[in-house]
Amino acid sequence: MVDDDEDVLLAAKMLLKKYGYHVIIEKNPNKIPFLLNNDSYDVILLDMNFSKDTTSGKEGFEWLGIIKEKDPSAVVIMITAFGDVEMAVRALKDGATDFILKPWQNEKLIATISTAIKLKKSYNEVDKLKKAKQMLEEQISQPFKDIIGQSQPIKDVFNLIDKVAKTDANILILGENGTGKELVARAIHQKSLRKDNSFVSVDMGAITETLFESELFGHKKGAFTDAREDRPGRFELANGGTLFLDEIGNLSMSLQSKLLTALQSRQVTRVGSNTAMEVDIRLICATNMPLLQMVKEGRFRQDLLYRINTVEMQIPALYERVEDIPMLAIHFLNYYSKKYRKEILSMTPEAITKLKKYPWPGNVRELQHALERAVIMADSNVLQESDFLFSRKGNDAAEADTLKLNEVERAAVVKAIQLHNGNISKAAEELGLTRASLYRRMEKYGV
C-alpha cells in the first residue's frame, strides 16, 4: 500500500493483518520502482493524490502507468478521498482493477482486496498455462515421436508400457545413449490417465548447480540478479501431468538431496518465497549410468534410487534389435527426404546389409544422423552402400583395422555385449572382468 498519510497506512495494515494478509506500506511513491524490482505483490493499493497535488489524481495516474509498464499483470486498486465517476472510469481504462474512496468501509475494502487476489491468481494461472502451452508446442514440433520396431526386445518394451502406463508408479528407464528413453517416457504419458495434461522434460545433465532450484522449483521476481519476473518451475508446469527427469545419474549428491526432499513432500518452494506449493506429478526418470554401482560407490543416494524406480525398464540397444534397422532406416529416409525436398525413394539391399552389420554404438540416434547425412549428400534417388561412411571406432574387434589399445578394447566390449545379447554378467565373464569393471569401461567408451 502506497499513501502519503501514515495514519491511513497503519490503520489499513492493522486491519488487513487480522485477515492474514502480509502488508508492505510505503509513504514515498518514488520508492515504487525499487519495491517492484525486489518483490512481487498480489495486490497494490495506490493513493491517487500525494503532496504535490491533493485533488486531481494526476500523480496517481502517473504511478499507475509506471507500475503497469513494469508489470502488465499487476493488480492495482486506486484509493482517493477526492474521487468522482469520471476519475474512476479513467483509472479503470488506464489499467486499475478497482477504485475505493476514503474513508472506506472495512467490509468493502476486504471484499475488494479478496476479489483482486482471486484475479491475480487467475493471471498467474493463465501465465503458467501459456508457458506450458509453449513448452508443449515445442515438444510437438520434435520429429520421431513414435517408437518404431517389431523385434521381440522392442515388443517387450511395448508390453511393459501398457502395464505401467495407467498407474502412477514412478518409472526408471535405463539404456544406452540414443536408444529412445524419452520416446518411451512420452509413450507412457500418452497412454496414462494424465495424457490431457503436460509432459515436461528436463535434461538434468544440462542444469548447473546454481540454477537447479530455479529451473525445477521456480523463482520469485527479484530472487536473484536476473529474476525479472515470477517464473514457475518444471514441477509446477508438470502439475497434474508427467515430469520426465532425463540423465538423472548426472546429479551431484547435494542436488540429489534437494530433489529427494521435493519428491518426498510433494511440495516445492520457489526461490525467494517462503510459501510451499503442493504438486501432483507422475515421475519418470532416465539414465545411461549404472545407478546400483554408483550407490555402492557412494555417488548416488540409495533412498533416492528407491524413490524413483518403483518400476524399472531396460531399453534395448540397437545391436540387440538388428531386425528393426531396415524399418527405422526407411522411416528416417522418408522424413529427411521431405525435409530437404529430395526425391529419394529407397535404399539398395547392399546399403541395408551394411546398416545391419554396423554395431551402432550411438544407437538409434546415430542411425538417424547417418540417414540425414546420406540424404543430404546423395546424388541419386536410391541410397547406395557408398552413401554411408562409418568411423572405424564402430567396427567390432574382428573387423578393426587398428592397433590402438583404446579402440581395440572398446570393440571387444561391444562384441562381448552383442555376443551375449546385452547380458552384462555374461559379457563381463567373457572378457575376464567384474561387472563393475565392465560398467566403467562402458561408461568410458560411451557404450
Considering the domain architecture, whether residues 407 and 346 belong to the same structural domain is answered as yes
Considering the domain architecture, whether residues 92 and 148 belong to the same structural domain is answered as no
pLDDT tens column, 143-184:
445 788 999 999 999 999 999 999 999 999 999 989 999 999
Considering the domain architecture, whether residues 302 and 326 belong to the same structural domain is answered as no
Q: Per the domain annotation, does 427 fall within a domain? A: yes
> What is the per-residue pLDDT for 373?
92
Considering the domain architecture, whether residues 324 and 305 belong to the same structural domain is answered as no
Those residues whose C-beta lies under 8 Å from the C-beta of residue 425, and which sit 6 or more positions away, are 435
Considering the domain architecture, whether residues 393 and 337 belong to the same structural domain is answered as yes
Considering the domain architecture, whether residues 295 and 339 belong to the same structural domain is answered as no
> What is the per-residue pLDDT for 104?
86
Q: Per the domain annotation, does 131 fall within a domain? A: no
Q: How many domains does the chain have?
A: 3
Burial of 390 (0-12, 13-18, 19+ CB in 10 A): middle
Considering the domain architecture, whether residues 285 and 330 belong to the same structural domain is answered as no
Position 401 confidence tier, pLDDT thresholds 50, 70, 90: very low
Task: State the residue range of the domain holding 55.
Answer: 6-119
pLDDT: is 139 or 177 the higher one? 177
Q: Per the domain annotation, does 126 fall within a domain? A: no
Do 184 and 147 contact (CB within 8 A), yes or no?
Answer: yes
Position 296 confidence tier, pLDDT thresholds 50, 70, 90: very high
Q: Per the domain annotation, does 345 fall within a domain? A: yes
pLDDT tens column, 315-325:
999 999 999 99
Query: In whole angstroms, what is the distance from residue 336 CA to residue 374 CA?
Result: 9
Q: Per the domain annotation, does 127 fall within a domain? A: no
Query: In whole angstroms, what is the distance from residue 58 CA to residue 55 CA?
Result: 8
> What is the per-residue pLDDT for 400?
41
Q: Structure pTM?
A: 0.61
Considering the domain architecture, whether residues 183 and 235 belong to the same structural domain is answered as yes
> What is the per-residue pLDDT for 158?
93
Q: Give the domain CATH number at 11.
A: 3.40.50.2300
Position 126 confidence tier, pLDDT thresholds 50, 70, 90: confident
Q: Per the domain annotation, does 201 fall within a domain? A: yes
Q: Would you give the distance in Å from CA 267 to the centre of its chain? A: 17
Q: Per the domain annotation, does 300 fall within a domain? A: yes
Considering the domain architecture, whether residues 301 and 438 belong to the same structural domain is answered as no
User: What integer best gives the mean pLDDT of the chain?
Assistant: 85
Residue range 111-125: average pLDDT? 86
**Cα–Cα separations (whole angstroms), residue 416 to 288, 393, 408, 431:** 18, 15, 12, 7
Q: Would you give the distance in Å from CA 309 to the centre of its chain? A: 19
> What is the per-residue pLDDT for 131?
66
Give Dmax (Cα) for the chain: 93
Cell numbers standing for residue 410? 572398446
Using DSSP bridges, classify how beta strands 276-278 and 267-269 pair: parallel, antiparallel or unpaired.
antiparallel
Residue 81 has pLDDT above 80, yes or no: no
Residue 115 has pLDDT above 60, yes or no: yes
Considering the domain architecture, whether residues 162 and 309 belong to the same structural domain is answered as yes
Query: In whole angstroms, what is the distance from residue 232 CA to residue 235 CA?
Result: 8
Considering the domain architecture, whether residues 434 and 348 belong to the same structural domain is answered as yes
Considering the domain architecture, whether residues 394 and 294 belong to the same structural domain is answered as no
Position 398 confidence tier, pLDDT thresholds 50, 70, 90: very low
> What is the per-residue pLDDT for 143?
42
Query: In whole angstroms, what is the distance from residue 176 CA to residue 446 CA?
Result: 8
Domain-ending residue, one of 256, 287, 314: 314
pLDDT: is 329 or 88 the higher one? 329
Domain-ending residue, one of 87, 119, 151: 119
Q: Give the domain CATH number at 339.
A: 1.10.8.60
pLDDT tens column, 184-231:
999 999 999 999 899 999 999 888 888 899 999 998 887 787 777 888
> What is the per-residue pLDDT for 135?
58
Poorest-confidence range of 148-162, 285-299, 349-363, 429-443?
A: 429-443
> What is the per-residue pLDDT for 141?
45
Domain-ending residue, one of 86, 119, 152: 119
Do 21 and 113 contact (CB within 8 A), yes or no?
Answer: yes
Q: Per the domain annotation, does 136 fall within a domain? A: no
Torsion of Cα atoms, 97 then 101 then 102 then 105, to 10°: -90
Cell numbers standing for residue 138? 515445442
pLDDT tens column, 243-294:
999 999 999 999 999 999 999 999 999 998 888 999 999 999 999 999 999 9
Which three-class secondary structure state does DSSP give residue 214? helix
